[in-house]
A and B are shown apart, each in its own frame.
Chain A
């Protein structure tokens, strides 16, 4: 009987033992996190059993929808909401693009600036819109200005992160050609990077505007303008038919915004 070569006896595995160990560790970690969270969170069971009844009652009160409320109390704040969304996107782009550019390691080869820009991106994104709104209401007083600043600052992180990734993915060829021709840093940006990241820039701008339309609908809860103010008032006064009017309006506007974004994307990108 001929001896079998030991190598052929080895069983084939898709992953190395270290990879498998890492996977099992992640599974264990995730399961443990879910189990511990579900066990320790405080939920009052009575509230849960009661929920279907409460929901039925709420929808019953919402019907019929108070359409007559739209011209007197919704239209104006809706326009304000859309203004906030558009302006905050513009301001967010104005602040986010430079920070995003500084965060790109290939365009700005200064590690200190990269880390600083990355920190700005993460921290502006971590503080949610409503928290920014609280801050700006304290600074500028209640109103649309506070809301615009809040969304603009929250957008910096999102815009900057996506933009810096686009810049890092840019093809090196044109940049090297321009550098070899003795181009100034400004020319490098304008003729080397900008043409390459332009489609991404427009995609980011549209995507962020779409998000900001949604975000601007909640600013009113902390007094920062927009349709949320009307919603907050209606909920506090238990005028559920008016709440329904506002919710339907928000829903329609969000759908329209999504359709507009999809159409523009198709045309220009």
Chain B
């Protein structure tokens, strides 16, 4: 015997507009998928191509290790210099952009500048700089610096806006100058978070410094792109392994540095 007359009641049923939203999302995704021309034969051919590709990548070829080392060193140097410049530029900018320290007349233009730096991908910025200052590491450093200012400027500003104003008031009450207020009222409160953000951004710059070379802005990316176009896939694999190793070392260092500064 079935329980006639009883229907299951779902107490947490989604309201109609949420369901319409889901439906719209699914229709959009289906429509977007149809644009991709993902057909079965193409997929099978892709698997075949991928297998050939990976076959030619193995074993990695470290014969031209001098070229590899030179490119990696340049990437690393670019990342370090760009992170340094980015941090140095972001510190004053974030103080100027913090709404709890500055009037709106000052914060708005600075916030716009930071947003402009953040809205373009480093590679697009790198292309512009390659056209402006020529091929090489300089364009890469400039592009990564712009990206760092966009990212660090935003995070530093948010960190400063979240501080407690009581300490600022206390420092001001002693008759401290503006710079003293910053140094003794603001910086101690945000120091640890700043170190975390800076470490993260250095890590991001390291990743991006291996990429901007593809558009001619220096670093290992150029070497990699050249090897790719000459179908030296075994050298490409060697470069990829080197990049992954470098980034893993960077991640470990980042964790260690954060540990040292944890109070």
Contact = CB atoms under 8 A, between A and B. Distances in A.
B221 to A, nearest CB: 8
Contacts of B42: 140, 145
A22 B260 CA distance: 6
Given A22-B260, A255-B119, A47 B244 contact: no
A231 interface: yes
For the residues of A in contact with B, the DSSP-based class is helix
B134 interface: yes
Nearest to A31: B84
B53 A139 contact: yes
B32 A87 contact: yes
Given A41-B81, A43-B138, A251 B49 contact: no
B208 interface: yes
Question: For chain B, which range describes its interface: under 10, 10 to 19, 20 to 34, or 35 or more residues?
Answer: 35 or more
Contact of B133 (A50, A148, A254): A50
A143 interface: yes
B137 A127 contact: no
B50 interface: yes
Nearest to A246: B124
Contacts of A40: 73, 77
Interface string B238-254: 00100110011001000
A206 interface: no
A267 to B, nearest CB: 10
Contacts of B141: 41, 43
Contact of B127 (A38, A123, A235): A235
Interface in B191-240: 207-208, 210-211, 214-215, 221, 224-225, 228, 240
B46 interface: yes
Contact of A221 (B32, B37, B132, B214): B214
B50 A126 contact: no
A48 B46 CA distance: 45
B80 A23 contact: no
Interface in A228-264: 228, 231, 235, 247, 250-251, 254-255
Given A122-B247, A217-B124, A131 B74 contact: no
Given A126-B247, A130-B214, A144-B36, A37 B132 contact: no
Contacts of B208: 128
Contacts of A90: 29
Nearest to A89: B29
Contacts of A4: none
A55 B81 CA distance: 22
B137 A41 contact: yes
Contacts of B127: 221, 231, 235
Contacts of B19: none
B261 A127 contact: no
A122 B248 contact: yes
Contacts of B38: 145
Contacts of B77: 36-38, 40-41
A54 interface: yes
Contacts of A140: 42, 46, 49
B33 interface: yes
Contacts of A127: 240, 243-244
Nearest to B33: A87
Interface in B50-66: 50, 53
A51 B139 CA distance: 10
Contacts of B260: 19, 22-23, 26
A47 B134 contact: yes
Contacts of A50: 133
Interface string A92-105: 00000000000000
Contact of A38 (B81, B136, B247, B261): B81
5 contacts: A41-B137, A87-B29, A131-B210, A131-B211, A250-B119
A-B interface, 4 closest residue pairs, ranked by CB to CB distance from nearest: A83-B32, A37-B77, A126-B247, A128-B211
Interface of A: 19, 22-23, 26, 33-34, 36-38, 40-44, 47-48, 50-51, 54-55, 58, 80, 83, 86-87, 90, 122-123, 125-131, 134-135, 138-140, 143-145, 148, 214-215, 217-218, 221-222, 228, 231, 235, 247, 250-251, 254-255
Interface of B: 28-29, 32-33, 35-38, 42, 46, 49-50, 53, 73-74, 76-78, 80-81, 84, 115-116, 119-121, 123-124, 127-128, 131-134, 136-138, 141, 207-208, 210-211, 214-215, 221, 224-225, 228, 240, 243-244, 247-248, 251, 257, 260-261
